[in-house]
Structure 1
């Protein structure tokens, strides 16, 4: 599901693969299901000169050995255990947090937060002590809470630049693109649907009014579309007999990586991400962001022709998003 020439300003592989500079990418949690799939994709990515795999799982060395059997021009390095985390992160241009507990049906956001807090806290503490902050992409759930938590932790430790911290939400855009194409009998790659607000089953909001090509959908049809999009994790997990989505998520992170490295290389890039943003009535917000080598520049705003019904859905999502953000920050307050 790559974006066509029609929308070539958004994450086109052709433009991104022409990046001149090469970069070091570190996958924290590389032995996890998403981590392994992502690392496989990154192993032969042209703009990655060094791929670093870190995990605390004992299977991590085996994952690195397997990846080493894939011929590639990039250097491959693996690290095991918390004691090696500083070495793994050093000199990295982009760090991806993909470890932790995967969210499955019956597992609440609070459960994921409790389980993944230590992982994100530990990595964030080490990043905060680096002399220069790399781009950081968070995949661990719940993103709505863990990204603000990571930000506060790094800000209190020392090295922190809010422009370089991203919750990776590309999967929401890909799903909306696919669902929109399916509903309208069109090729998904010819469709674009902005997805904003947050990254959860209650805060993901697609803007049908801003879709390309345009469409006339009733409120009932929009609600059905929103509900189906918000249930995609559950739908996939049920089909996988309780297992979480991994392959599509890993692919969405690959697209994020391509865009991030293009930006670091001095090219124009747009990323779907959850970032620090005070323009929408909350301190964090998800959407399409302009990115350069210094990080986030600005987020695309949609002010024209948004329907009253979409505004209602967005307000309800914002209420939940504020609670999610507060929950993440509260974790640090009580310790």
Structure 2
């Protein structure tokens, strides 16, 4: 397994793609949500986006589109409101982002969040499945571990589906690990690479310090503290924001993901951090560094050398939880 500085360079390039030609249409479903607005703002002037489409069922959506129109950009901007316009919003899009739904905040139970976001993803996925050709799809709504498998099952049963084009956006996990690792060791974060694998939740996110580049000597206690902090970042940010969920860093991570996908669509070699359909790790879905081309997923990076005993232990525990999360998502069709 080659895990060297070249991966950091690949990912850094994907964040700074520049093009004099705008080529791609990106649709932000849930674009009037807190995260959706931040994502839309970042994409408004993204060079590779020729048309930005904003869709939401929230009545404030037209105002969001008007605000975005005040930003000077050489791209087309279009807004849609309500479920009846969803097919129009999705049509001709190269990439669709599902960023709406309910944010997990204090007072909102896991079940309430899951139920609300299942409805959001269910509605959008069913419409995507009816398109003549499936666009690339990035799911941001939580919990990814369950919602991505659910989206896949719905698309399969609705019509058009290509598993290579469905991604759960987990770039935030890599960004956090990269920054935490760099800060801890006095290194420039952009020069650091820490693989983060398995799933996308506090119980299934597994950073591999043994595979980090540059390497660093860390005691067992330091490694456990690193893992704990990374897995608790959502909680840490929410507490610091007095009950508000992370949005700014998540939006930036979505931008990084979009840049990687659009690079792949334009014929460049690209990698993204994502949660995808993958049967190689004892579960049907898995998260990690994914090589992507214009057809979608090519392969996921594997790490087989010098994995520590502690990492194997937490990975096994995470896989047990991940299998349960995946099963929850797949069961949606059993109760229809």
TM class, shorter-length: over 0.9
1:79 corresponding residue in structure 2: 80
Aligned-residue offset at 1:157: 1.0
Maintained 8 Å contact 1:54/1:88: yes
2:202 corresponding residue in structure 1: 201
CA RMSD of aligned residues (A): 1.5
1:28 corresponding residue in structure 2: 29
Residues 1:285 and 2:286 aligned together: yes
1:115 corresponding residue in structure 2: 116
CA distance in structure 2 between the partners assigned to 1:206 and 1:115 by the alignment: 29
3-state SS of the aligned residue for 1:140? coil
3-state SS of the aligned residue for 2:299? strand
Aligned-residue offset at 1:12: 1.3
1:63 corresponding residue in structure 2: 64
Aligned-residue offset at 1:6: 8.0
Compute the TM-score of the two structures, normalised by the length of structure 2.
0.96
CA distance in structure 1 between the partners assigned to 2:282 and 2:148 by the alignment: 17
- Which consecutive residues of structure 1, in runs of 5 or more, have no partner in the other structure? none
Between Structure 1 and Structure 2, how many residues are aligned?
A: 332
CA distance in structure 1 between the partners assigned to 2:48 and 2:297 by the alignment: 20
2:311 corresponding residue in structure 1: 310
Residues 1:158 and 2:159 aligned together: yes
Maintained 8 Å contact 2:14/2:263: no
CA distance in structure 2 between the partners assigned to 1:209 and 1:25 by the alignment: 37
2:299 corresponding residue in structure 1: 298
Residues 63-98 of structure 1, C-alpha deviations (whole Å, 9 max, x = no match): 000000111100000000000000000000000000
Maintained 8 Å contact 2:197/2:288: yes
2:241 corresponding residue in structure 1: 240
1:105–1:180 CA distance, 2 compared to 1 (3 A): farther
CA distance in structure 2 between the partners assigned to 1:29 and 1:214 by the alignment: 40
1:42 corresponding residue in structure 2: 43
Residues 210-251 of structure 1, C-alpha deviations (whole Å, 9 max, x = no match): 001011222222111111001000000001100000010000
3-state SS of the aligned residue for 1:30? coil
1:207–1:44 CA distance, 2 compared to 1 (3 A): same
Maintained 8 Å contact 1:11/1:271: no
3-state SS of the aligned residue for 1:8? helix
Aligned-residue offset at 1:21: 5.9
Compute the TM-score of the two structures, normalised by the length of structure 1.
0.96
CA distance in structure 2 between the partners assigned to 1:42 and 1:48 by the alignment: 7
1:61–1:182 CA distance, 2 compared to 1 (3 A): same
3-state SS of the aligned residue for 2:206? strand
Residues 14-36 of structure 1, C-alpha deviations (whole Å, 9 max, x = no match): 76223856100000000000000
1:271–1:19 CA distance, 2 compared to 1 (3 A): farther
1:230 corresponding residue in structure 2: 231
**Pairing 1:309-328 to 2, within 5 Å after superposition:** 309-328=310-329
1:148 corresponding residue in structure 2: 149
Aligned-residue offset at 1:9: 1.4
1:124 corresponding residue in structure 2: 125
CA distance in structure 2 between the partners assigned to 1:217 and 1:104 by the alignment: 33
- Which consecutive residues of structure 2, in runs of 5 or more, have no partner in the other structure? none
